Copies of this chain bind each other. A is one copy, B any other.
Amino acid sequence: MESKRRTERRKDALSKERIVENAIAILDAGGETALTFRALTARLATGPGAIYNHVANKDELLDAAIEAVIVRALADIPESTRPHGAIRAICLGVFDAIARHPWVGAQLSSKPWGAAVLHLFEAIGSRLAALDVPEAAQFDYASALLNYLLGLAGQHAARARLVTRDADRTAFLEALAAQWAALGPENFPFLHRQAAHLPEHDDRDQFLAGVDLILAGITATTRGPVRGTTDSTSQRITPFR
């Protein structure tokens, strides 16, 4: 746990860790498109070939970068929290991490078998196991939560790709709302109606509403027999959260 400070290494030393950290810095500063081997080698004052001594290719580099961010986000979740609260905390932690590093969203949703998603799946699934969710359903439910998370992650990443500054966010939403409003109520009644709510809505609240919705579905379906369940020994969940 405790890392003792060692003497500062020379800056010249190239290591996977240092490469990954610099990659993260580039991604944070300039977004997904900013990370090129040329930008990375310029920052590290070396040649492109040097990177390949520590990392197999760009894919592995991105995997390592995203895993570092996600592991850090999950580390903040207190172990003691009850399942429902823990799942909320995990989802929120990932949401906030993506808000800080939008490029993570794109990688998360486009590489769902990577190490980062593994950590997420485990974190969510183990909390579901602590609920009364039957084992056969744990996989499906964890997958539902995870996919919701990945979908939103991709959405954030996509928006960040064309909206860099925070000030542009409301401008973007207003432009989108105008586009929706212009769609015409006969073909797009729902979007036309919801256009007004678009600029005022809070991303974080909406995200949490979705998490709670799925959690509500989980408690609703695990509690009573879903349909034709003959298991008479199904336990009840405490009605209070």
Contacts and interface: CB of A to CB of B under 8 A. Distances in A.
Interface of A: 106, 109-113, 118, 121-122, 125-126, 128-129, 135-144, 146-155, 157-159, 176, 180, 183, 188-191, 193-194, 197-198, 201, 206, 209-210, 212-221, 223-224, 226-231, 233-234, 236
Contacts of A229: 224
B154 A112 contact: yes
A189 B130 CA distance: 12
Contacts of A149: 151
Given A144-B213, A151-B151, A221-B213, A190 B126 contact: yes
29 contacts: A110-B157, A113-B176, A118-B180, A118-B183, A118-B188, A121-B190, A122-B188, A122-B189, A122-B191, A129-B193, A136-B197, A139-B197, A144-B210, A147-B152, A147-B155, A148-B151, A151-B154, A216-B216, A216-B221, A216-B226, A217-B233, A219-B220, A220-B220, A223-B226, A224-B231, A226-B233, A226-B234, A227-B234, A228-B236
B155 A150 contact: yes
Given A221-B216, A228-B224, A144 B148 contact: yes
A144 B209 contact: yes
A233 B223 contact: no
B216 A220 contact: yes
A142 B191 CA distance: 11
Given A112-B155, A154-B109, A221 B233 contact: yes
